[in-house]
A and B are shown apart, each in its own frame.
Chain A
Amino acid sequence: MSHPVLIIGAGVAGMTAAVELADSGIQTILVERKTTVGGNALDLYKAFPTDDCFYCFEGNRWRPGIRKCFYRSALLDQPNLVLKTNTTIKEISGEPGSFTVVLSVGPQYVDAAKCIMCGVCLEHSKAFDIVSPQCQPQAVTYDPSKADDGAKRAAEECPTKAIDLDAEPSEETVNVADVIVATGYHEMQPVNIDEYGYGKIPNVITQLELAQMLDPNGVAGGVLTRPSDGEPVRSVMMVQCVGSRDENYYPYCSKICCVFALKHANIIVLERENISVSVVYMDIRTYDRHERYYREAREAGVNFIRGRVQIVRPSTSGGVEVVVYDSLLDRYLRFDADLFVLSSALEAPEGGSEIIKALGLRESSGFVAPANPESEERVIVGDHVYACGTALGPAEVPESVTQARAVVSKILQSRRG
C-alpha cells in the first residue's frame, strides 16, 4: 500500500517537501550527497529577505518560509521520513508511478542516531569534525582521508559506540511512486573569464567565498583579511553579472546575485569598521521588495559605479588594482581594492544533467524545465516527477519553500482517492 516519494537533495526545498509530505502521512526518502543537510544555504551566513543567520532561525518560526530549524530537527524523528546522507542516485528505471531507484550509499562511519556530539572523538583525531553546532543530523562527521592513529582510540572510547571505522559503501534499491528533484544550484567558478583573474590573483574571490569570510562561525571569525597576506581589508570592490547575462557563459540573469551582493555590502559597511565598498554593475536588479537593500546600501555610503571592469591586476600595495569604465561619466577610474568579489553566475549543480537524462526531463540552460512550458504549473516536470527550489533555476529562499509546498500539494491532490 505504501507509495513512497523520493526526494533528491536536502537543501531548503528538499527538506521542506520532505517534512511536509512525511507530516501528511506519506513515506518519504530524502537523499543527500553530503554528510550534512542544508545545502548551499549553510554557506550563506545571513539570508535575505530576513537577514537571519542560516544556522538558526529560532526567532523566526512564525514567518512563512523560514522554519529551517524546525525542519531539520524533524528529519531524524519523523517516522515517515528516511534521511540518507552521503548518498547519490546510481540508476533510475521503471515506469512513471513505479520507479526503481538504485542508491549508492556511502560508508556510514558515524551512526547519527547514536551520536551525542560529546566531542570525545574530536580530542583524539583530526578526522572527526562538527560541521556546525546546529548541523543536521546532529552528529560528528568522519573524513577517512584524514585518518590518523587517534581515530581507532576515538572509536573505542565513543560512549555510545556510534563510530564504525570499517563501514563500507553499499547499494540499496528502492521502489518509489513519485520523484522530487531538488538538486539546487552551484556557484560558477569564473576561472575562464580572463579579465577578472579569478584563480590567478588570490585576492579575487566569489560572493559565496565572501559570505564564508563574513560568517562569525567561519574560519576567520568574521574578520575580513586579504587571502594573499592576511592584512586587514580596507576596501572591497564587487562586480555584478560575472558569467550571467553573457551569451558566452549563461544567457539568463541569475536573479539573486544583486540582492546577496548588496546584503554583503551592507554587512561590511554597517557591521565592520572602516571598510569601503564599491559595486560595479550594468543594472541593479533588486527585484520586488528587495529594492530596500539597494536603497540601504546607497544610504550607507556604498559606491555604485555603472560600467564594466577594464583590467584587474595585483597592486604594489598588496591589493588589487582595478580600472573601471564608468559609463555614466564616460571616464575611466582606477581603484586600489583589497578584495575583489565576483558575483558569479548560479549554474546547474554537478550531476544535475545525469538526473535530467535518467528521468527524461526537459532542460533549460542546465536546470530542470517544466514539462509543459505553456503551463503555469512550473513544479510539474514529468509524469510523477516534480522539481522545486533552485533545481528549476535561481530562486530566493521563500520562493524555494513555496515551490516545495506546491509540489507537496500536487502529490497530495494526485493521491486523493
Chain B
Amino acid sequence: MAETDDKTGPPVTLIEPIDMTKLDPNFRKEIQNMPDGDEVNACFACSTCTAACPIANQWKYKPHQLIRMILLGMREEVLSSREIWECLTCFQCQERCPQGVRVTDIIFDLRDLASEEGKIPDAVKFLAKELLEKGQLYVVTADWEREDLDLEPEVPGLSTDEFKEILKRTRTGKIAGGE
C-alpha cells in the first residue's frame, strides 16, 4: 500500500494502528514459562483485577490491560511500564480472579524480566543500593521507642555483614552494585 504518495482518498485512520507483526508473539510463552505465569492464557478480560486494585485509577495501563498486552505480545511496552513497579502487591487482583490467573505474581515476574534488561526505575535502584550497602532497608537506631521498652540501644547480636556478602553475589548485587 502506498503510504504518502496516494492522496486520492481520506486517511484510513486518524490513529496509526499497532502493527501486530512488529509485536512479539512469543512474549505470552515467555511469561507462561516464568514461575507464576502458567495460567495467563486463561484471562478473559473481565477486568475483575482492575475493579479490585486500590490504585489502578492512577494508572495508564490497568491490570487487565497489562494482561491483555502480554497476550498480544506488547513486550516493550509492558516491560518499560511504570505500573509494574508501582503495584502495591496487595494480592487483591489475584485473590479475586475468576480464572485463576496469578496477576500479582505475574507482576513480580514482569519486574524480574524488566530488571534483567536493566529497566529499573531510579527509586528502586536506590533502594537496592541501600540494601546492598547496609544489609538492611531500615537501620535500627537507638531511639525513645527502644528506651521506653527497656531495650538496649543496639540490637544485640545483629550483624548484616554475612548478608551483605550474599547479596553481592545475587541479582540485586549485579543490578545495583554494577557500576
Given that A301-B28, A316-B1, A326-B68 are known contacts, is A331 also in contact with B18, CB under 8 Å in the complex?
Answer: yes
* Set of chain A residues within 8 Å of B15, measured between Cβ atoms: 332
Q: Would you call B72 and A333 a contact (CB within 8 A)?
A: yes
Give A330's nearest chain B residue, CB to CB: B65
A274 to B20, CA, bound (A): 17
Asked if A311 is an interface residue, CB under 8 A from chain B, the answer is: yes
Partner of B17, one of A294, A303, A316, A323: A323
Asked if A284 is an interface residue, CB under 8 A from chain B, the answer is: yes
Asked if A310 is an interface residue, CB under 8 A from chain B, the answer is: yes
Query: How far, in Å, is A41 (CB) from chain B's closest CB?
Result: 29
Q: Would you call B1 and A299 a contact (CB within 8 A)?
A: no
Asked if B21 is an interface residue, CB under 8 A from chain A, the answer is: yes
* Set of chain B residues within 8 Å of A294, measured between Cβ atoms: 44
* Set of chain A residues within 8 Å of B64, measured between Cβ atoms: 328
Give A300's nearest chain B residue, CB to CB: B41
Q: Please report which residues of chain A, range 274-317, place their CB below 8 angstroms from some CB of chain B when the two chains form the complex.
A: 276, 284, 294-295, 298-299, 301, 303-304, 306, 310-311, 316
Asked if A3 is an interface residue, CB under 8 A from chain B, the answer is: no
Per-position binary interface string of chain A over residues 197-210, scored 1 when its CB falls under 8 Å from any chain B CB and 0 otherwise: 00000000000000
Per-position binary interface string of chain B over residues 87-108, scored 1 when its CB falls under 8 Å from any chain A CB and 0 otherwise: 0000000000001000000000
A276 to B25, CA, bound (A): 10
Given that A311-B13, A316-B1, A333-B72 are known contacts, is A328 also in contact with B45, CB under 8 Å in the complex?
Answer: yes
Give B15's nearest chain A residue, CB to CB: A332
* Set of chain A residues within 8 Å of B44, measured between Cβ atoms: 284, 294, 298, 304
Q: Would you call B45 and A333 a contact (CB within 8 A)?
A: no
Asked if A336 is an interface residue, CB under 8 A from chain B, the answer is: yes
Asked if B139 is an interface residue, CB under 8 A from chain A, the answer is: no
Q: Please report which residues of chain A, range 320-347, place their CB below 8 angstroms from some CB of chain B when the two chains form the complex.
A: 321, 323-324, 326, 328-329, 331-336
A316 to B3, CA, bound (A): 13
Q: Would you call A336 and B21 a contact (CB within 8 A)?
A: yes
Query: How far, in Å, is A307 (CB) from chain B's closest CB?
Result: 11
A-B contact count (CB 8 A): 57
* Set of chain A residues within 8 Å of B18, measured between Cβ atoms: 331-334
* Set of chain B residues within 8 Å of A310, measured between Cβ atoms: 13, 17
Per-position binary interface string of chain B over residues 51-90, scored 1 when its CB falls under 8 Å from any chain A CB and 0 otherwise: 0000000000000110011011000000000000000000
Per-position binary interface string of chain A over residues 374-403, scored 1 when its CB falls under 8 Å from any chain B CB and 0 otherwise: 000000000000000000000000000000
Given that A298-B43, A323-B12, A328-B64 are known contacts, is A334 also in contact with B25, CB under 8 Å in the complex?
Answer: no
Main secondary structure on A side of the interface with B:
strand
* Set of chain B residues within 8 Å of A311, measured between Cβ atoms: 12-13
Q: Please report which residues of chain B, range 1-30, place their CB below 8 angstroms from some CB of chain A when the two chains form the complex.
A: 1, 12-13, 15-21, 25, 28
Asked if B123 is an interface residue, CB under 8 A from chain A, the answer is: no
Q: Would you call A306 and B13 a contact (CB within 8 A)?
A: no
Query: How far, in Å, is B52 (CB) from chain A's closest CB?
Result: 17
Give A337's nearest chain B residue, CB to CB: B20
* Set of chain B residues within 8 Å of A326, measured between Cβ atoms: 68, 72
Asked if B42 is an interface residue, CB under 8 A from chain A, the answer is: yes
Q: Would you call A329 and B41 a contact (CB within 8 A)?
A: no
Q: Would you call A306 and B20 a contact (CB within 8 A)?
A: no
* Set of chain B residues within 8 Å of A276, measured between Cβ atoms: 25
Query: How far, in Å, is A259 (CB) from chain B's closest CB?
Result: 15
- Besides A331-B17, A331-B18, A332-B16, 9 new A-B residue pairs in contact (Cβ under 8 A), listed by A number: A276-B25, A298-B41, A299-B41, A299-B42, A301-B28, A304-B44, A316-B1, A323-B12, A336-B20
26 pairs, CB–CB < 8 Å, chain A vs chain B:
A276-B25, A284-B44, A295-B42, A295-B99, A298-B43, A298-B44, A299-B41, A301-B28, A301-B41, A310-B13, A310-B17, A316-B1, A321-B1, A323-B17, A324-B17, A326-B72, A328-B47, A329-B65, A329-B68, A329-B72, A332-B17, A333-B72, A334-B18, A334-B19, A334-B20, A336-B21
Q: Which 4 A-B pairs have the closest CB atoms?
A: A332-B17, A334-B17, A335-B20, A323-B17
